[in-house]
Amino acid sequence: MDREIAGLSSMATRPVLAELADHIRLARGLAVRFDSAGGVEIARRVRDGAESDVLVLADGALAALTAQGYVLADSVRPLWVSPVVAAVPEGTPVPALRSESDLRAALLSAKGIAYSTGPSGTALTDLITRFDLADTLRDRLVQASPGVPAGSFLSSGQADLAFQQHSELMDLPGVVIAGPLPGDTAISSTFSGGVLATSSQPSRAREVLDFLASDAASKTARTKGMRPVAATS
């Protein structure tokens, strides 16, 4: 009997993959289970020889692992784009984010600013540097540990503004999404999938990837704050 297909993913894609695992079982008869953690942690597990079949990570991280021979290069495909959004604690004023000036004002008025590890966090700190606010905001920045939602700092009172992938913030209790970042300050991450070179079931793993790239999967991804790579909006 074929064993369950094992997948690894970053936290940003956990909500969509958890739902799609059931769809894959019903549509393709494939049992699949995804284990999700911070992207840095997942990459470490892969390099340490984790026994798994499918990998879903941010483009850059997946490309690095592919170049190092951990992922089958001909299996890699882009899946979804996830925007970074700003969020505030429920019951507090929601800042306008119609312009760069609005975003700057929101950053300056915040007493604590939570952000994540990984590409989205790096992009946010780069944006703050571009605004020439790095020194002003340095003591207000709170970086979440890998795998910990930046939004959790809102409910705990450690921050009053948070930035992270929409999929990771949208269902957190006590959190209100203010919106995506405006104009050319927008931050997004592309997530791709591939088959691990050590997979004992590469053909079945490719079937899983086929489904993740399908129109049916795209519909689920949209409900979780993502859009398929091929979509223009």
Residues 54-89: tens digit of each pLDDT: 999 999 999 999 999 999 999 999 999 999 999 999
d(CA 220, CA 222): 5
d(CA 134, CA 191): 28
H helix intervals, the chain = 14-28, 39-47, 59-67, 100-109, 119-130, 134-137, 152-155, 166-169, 202-212, 215-223
Question: Is there a domain that residue 155 lies in?
Answer: yes
Question: Is there a domain that residue 233 lies in?
Answer: no
- pLDDT band (50, 70, 90) for residue 47: very high
Same domain? For 76 and 89 the reply is no
Same domain? For 110 and 180 the reply is yes
Residues 3-43: tens digit of each pLDDT: 799 999 998 899 999 999 999 988 888 899 999 998 889 99
Same domain? For 54 and 105 the reply is no
Angle (CA) 148-149-155 rounded to 5° is 115
- pLDDT band (50, 70, 90) for residue 120: confident
| Count: domains in the chain | 2
pLDDT of residue 170: 87
Q: Is the pLDDT of residue 230 over 80?
A: no
Rounded average pLDDT over 125-132: 96
Q: Is the pLDDT of residue 232 over 60?
A: no
Same domain? For 91 and 180 the reply is yes
Angle (CA) 183-189-191 rounded to 5° is 150
CATH code, domain with 38? 3.40.190.10
Rounded average pLDDT over 170-196: 93
Token pair listed for 92: 């507090």
Side chain identity at residue 39, one-letter code: G
Same domain? For 140 and 211 the reply is no
